[in-house]
Amino acid sequence: MSDKITNILLVGVGGQGILLAAEILSETVMLAGYDVKKSEIHGMSQRGGSVVSHVRYGKEVFSPMVPEGEGDVLFGFELMESYRALPLLKPGGTVVVNDLTIAPPSVLIGQEQYPEGLAQKIKELVPDCILVDGQNLALEAGNARAANTVLLGAVSKRLDIEEKYWLESIERMVPRKALAVNLKAFELGRALA
Amino acid sequence: MKEILSGNEAIARGAYEAGVKVACAYPGTPSTEILENTIRYKEIDSSWATNEKVSLEVGIGASFVGARALVTMKHVGVNVAADPLFTLSYTGVNGGLVLVCADDPELHSSQDEQDSRNYAKFAKVPMLEPSDSQECLNFTKLAYELSERYDTPVMLRTTTRISHSKSVVELGERVTGLPEPKLVKNPAKYVMLPGNARPRHYVVEERLVTLSKDGSSMPINRVELRDSKIGVITAGISYQHVREVLPEASVLKLGMVHPLPYDLIREFAAKVEKLYVVEELDPFIEDQVKAAGIQVIGKEIVPICGELTPGRLRKAFGLPEKAQSQVEKLPGRPPNMCPGCPHRGVFYSLNRLNAYVSGDIGCYTLGFMPPLSAMDTCVCMGASIGMATGAVKVLPPEERKKVVAVIGDSTFLHTGVNGLMDMVYNKGAATVIILDNRITAMTGRQENPASGHTLMDSPTNAIDFPMLCKAIGVQHVRTINPLDLEECARVIAEEMERPETSVIITDKPCVLIKREGVFKRGAVLEVVDENCAGCKACLKIGCPAIEWVPSSGKKGKAHIDPLLCNGCEVCQQLCKFAAIQEAK
């Protein structure tokens, strides 16, 4: 095992299921034999605020926070939050982003406009960017709420972790009745990247 | 067995393995999940207390009769629990007692950034500080051994990044063979009258000297010799950032941050050319090391405000910054009250009535945010009522009427009830609104003495707020439906006019309560496009389910997200054009 640490950022809006996705990712890399640390802020996040979860894995991880400008993969659940988090990503990093916009309070009440063309702006800054139609693929898998697992599938192709560990961790972490849909969603995401 | 645990989960596990019998807390971010995890172990009696002072007293009671006890709180909770803490330092313990205090550098979810290590020094008790989840577990167990060996409460300090970060932990077994609790009479030790307390002070001072000396050989205080050019004294999460940013530096990692192991510090200082202290918030270690006559660099380069990050530490040591993408300024995304939140109608009414709102701590503090913009003060748990009393004492009558205190059910029981007793006793002429949503919502839906359920999910007596207020002596107690805007505005206006203490209790549950039958979702509403005049009246409540669509119609129309709408009907009452109706 090399000394390299892989840095992943999961970003989006409170309530989108980011914490569970980060748990599945952490469990996966632990099963694959890596040291792992995961960090995020709870509390206010449940009330629709910005959420950033850091997951780092490798032989031995020290800080639980991805150092600024050293993110390898940005795993975005929402466009504006993904664009906002780009300074955390290293030059030449990867973005896997859900093609979804969620209006913040100032946009909801008509005070500000949701910025236009964010997907394009992200692609200009980060050429290795995969835009995922998470909602529709999740519907194809059988449930709109499985969008996170579609994204996780797309992210999984960019990480050097055997598929069996992903599947084992999804089986451990996802409730039994939602398992089949989530496994399908994962495969659909994996087929994209 | 290995598991990925958060610091909080690992502390709960550590308490279990240490044989803890009683765990007690008042919820507070980032400490809350510790007690939410001790309930996984049926051997531990876990409970929410009304406030941190009471939680510590419950712990002390259990300790004095011989049980190991865990008490947890956030940093500002220690302010509330400080009174028993300082005297507990004198009495010492019987069963081990550990007070976990979770600090919140960066104020992710707090009203201040106090550094609770100062409490260890102030109360003269030892404090351990773990650097990851494995240490959270190990240090918790060690803390019980130290507590009993040195006859002292032990503080275990975490920060948000320790409590809420997850890392891999090796689990152990629960200890067996601890003495069974039984009544112990030892008034010279446990009755802190001056005659008894005076000799105990000498014991406390001797204990600190012994702990400092013994600390130099404790394995949790560890020297890692690498390059001798730079030596860093550090602890807690800062240790991880130091290892990340200065991988070659020699490190003295302190597991016990109070009292300091001076012999070990001197020994380490002699082995390195240049000595630094890297610590978040106050120069706690630094000042003491400097006072001991050891040259060290600390807050000259390391920021005193905010949390440390690898990037901030790189900057402090003058290392080049990593290349980063530059992005345009974006609309912010602050947290918001949930769709259907029963607080929304109250704050909308307070805004309309141009009230001066003496606020408090909970989800409803978000009533400060636009467009509700109806909170004028927020200081600490329970402060709203006392502050309203103070304001009405001195304001002229026309302004006095404007003063309204708002406080949640759990916060009222925490320390607000004392404020109300004082207001009634001293004839404070202000209006108090108790926002009773049947749960401690902000910290993640914890039960409380008014919810009718305990932490271990058994039904219990629920406090009756109208009865309680009447018993205190409030002559005017009214209960309203906060989702009825007409009733809200009318009743609040009437009580504001009254030159006496009055209490209004709102009677609707939090939309996030999962227990069946408490919150009932209403019928989802929709905007009927033909009727919507684009007047934006419905936007004035700031509901996350209602979005302004500028491109709709001539000047824009409102839209309701059917997935988010909880059917509270507050927006419907604001619409003069019957454009908001039950969705077909």
Express each pLDDT in A168-192 by its tens digit: 999 999 999 999 999 999 999 999 9
Picking from A1-5, A55-59, B73-77, B239-243, which range would have the lowest pLDDT averaged per residue? A1-5
With an 8 Å Cβ cutoff, are B310 and A68 in contact? yes
State how far the Cα of B211 lies from the Cα of B231, in Å rounded to an integer. Answer: 24
Evaluate if residue A44 carries a pLDDT over 70: no
With an 8 Å Cβ cutoff, are A80 and B548 in contact? no
Cis peptide before B562 (omega within 30 of 0): no
With an 8 Å Cβ cutoff, are A107 and B325 in contact? no
Task: Give percent above pLDDT 90 in chain B.
Answer: 97
Unique residue bearing structure tokens 């999940």: B33
Evaluate if residue B373 carries a pLDDT over 90: yes
**Nearest beta carbon to residue B331 from set A27, A65, A104:** A104
With an 8 Å Cβ cutoff, are A115 and B331 in contact? yes
Please state which CATH class domain B2-215 belongs to: alpha beta
Chain B contact for A120 (CB, 8 A cutoff) = no
Residue B182 C-alpha, separation from nearest chain A C-alpha, in angstroms: 39
> What are the backbone dihedrals phi and psi of residue B513, each rounded to the nearest 5 degrees, phi first?
-65, 125
Q: What is the pLDDT of residue A15?
A: 85
Q: Are strands B431-436 and B502-507 parallel, antiparallel or unpaired?
A: parallel
Chain B residue at shortest CA distance from A113: B331
Q: Answer whether A80's CB lies under 8 Å from A107's CB.
A: no
The count of C-alpha atoms lying within 13 angstroms of the C-alpha of A17, restricted to the half-sphere facing its C-beta, is 16
**Encoded tokens for B299:** 């807050």
Chain A contact for B514 (CB, 8 A cutoff) = no
Residue B242 C-alpha, separation from nearest chain A C-alpha, in angstroms: 8
Residues 188-207 of chain B with CB under 8 A from chain A are none
Residues 128-157 of chain A with CB under 8 A from chain B are none
With an 8 Å Cβ cutoff, are A63 and B542 in contact? no
State how far the Cα of B238 lies from the Cα of B110, in Å rounded to an integer. Answer: 20
Q: What is the pLDDT of residue B287?
A: 98
With an 8 Å Cβ cutoff, are B4 and A27 in contact? yes
The three-class DSSP label of residue B213 is: helix
With an 8 Å Cβ cutoff, are A104 and B332 in contact? yes
Measured between beta carbons, which residues in chain B are less than 8 angstroms from residue A65? Answer: 161, 241, 309-310
The three-class DSSP label of residue A89 is: strand
Mean pLDDT confidence for B281-292: 98
Q: CATH assignment of B525-582, given 3.30.70.20, 1.10.600.10, 1.10.10.10, 3.40.1350.10?
A: 3.30.70.20
Q: What is the pLDDT of residue A41?
A: 81
Residue type, B308: L
Q: What is the pLDDT of residue A43?
A: 58
Angle of helix A179-190 relative to helix A163-173, nearest 10 degrees, comes to 150
B551 CB-near residues (< 8 Å, 6+ apart): none
What's the mean pLDDT when you consider all of chain B? Answer: 97
The alpha-helical segments, DSSP class H, found in B515-584 are 570-574
Chain B contact for A80 (CB, 8 A cutoff) = yes
**Encoded tokens for B491:** 């009743």
Chain B residue at shortest CA distance from A89: B324
Integer angstrom CA distances of residue A136 from A99, A101, A151, B487: 10, 14, 12, 44
Mean pLDDT confidence for B418-425: 98
Measured between beta carbons, which residues in chain A are less than 8 angstroms from residue B332? Answer: 104, 106
Q: Do domains B2-215 and B222-316 have the same CATH topology?
A: yes
Measured between beta carbons, which residues in chain A are less than 8 angstroms from residue B168? Answer: 30, 35-36
Residues 149-168 of chain B with CB under 8 A from chain A are 160-161, 164-168
**Encoded tokens for B194:** 């001056």
The three-class DSSP label of residue B503 is: strand
Express each pLDDT in B436-449 by its tens digit: 999 999 999 999 99
> What are the backbone dihedrals phi and psi of residue B155, each rounded to the nearest 5 degrees, phi first?
-95, 140
H/E run at residue B513 = none
The three-class DSSP label of residue A36 is: strand
Measured between beta carbons, which residues in chain A are less than 8 angstroms from residue B30? Answer: 42-43
The alpha-helical segments, DSSP class H, found in B173-274 are 187-190, 194-215, 236-245, 262-271
Q: What ipTM was reported for this prediction?
A: 0.95
What single-letter DSSP state applies at residue A69?
T
Q: What is the pLDDT of residue A48?
A: 83
Express each pLDDT in B58-73 by its tens digit: 999 999 999 999 999 9
Residue A154 C-alpha, separation from nearest chain B C-alpha, in angstroms: 23
Q: Which of B167, B576, B320 is nearest to A67 (CA)?
A: B320
Evaluate if residue A2 carries a pLDDT over 80: no
Q: What is the pLDDT of residue A46?
A: 63
Q: What is the pLDDT of residue A3?
A: 81
Domain boundaries, chain B: 2-215, 222-316, 343-507, 525-582
Question: For chain A, which domains are there?
Answer: 6-190 (3.40.920.10)
Evaluate if residue B39 carries a pLDDT over 70: yes
Chain A residue at shortest CA distance from B547: A108
**Encoded tokens for B258:** 């109070």
Neighbours of B47 (CB within 10 A): 18
Q: Regarding the domain delimited by B222-316, which CATH topology (the fold level of the hierarchy) does it fall under? A: Rossmann fold (3.40.50)
Any long-range contacts for A181-185 (C-beta under 8 Å, 24+ apart)? A181/A141, A181/A142, A181/A143, A181/A146, A182/A141, A182/A146, A182/A149, A184/A141, A184/A142, A184/A146, A185/A137, A185/A138, A185/A141, A185/A142, A185/A143, A185/A146, A185/A147, A185/A149, A185/A150, A185/A153
Mean pLDDT confidence for A138-143: 94
Radius of gyration of chain A (CA): 16
State how far the Cα of B421 lies from the Cα of B442, in Å rounded to an integer. Answer: 25
Partnered with residue B426 across adjacent β-strands are none
With an 8 Å Cβ cutoff, are A109 and B371 in contact? yes
Please state which CATH class domain B343-507 belongs to: alpha beta
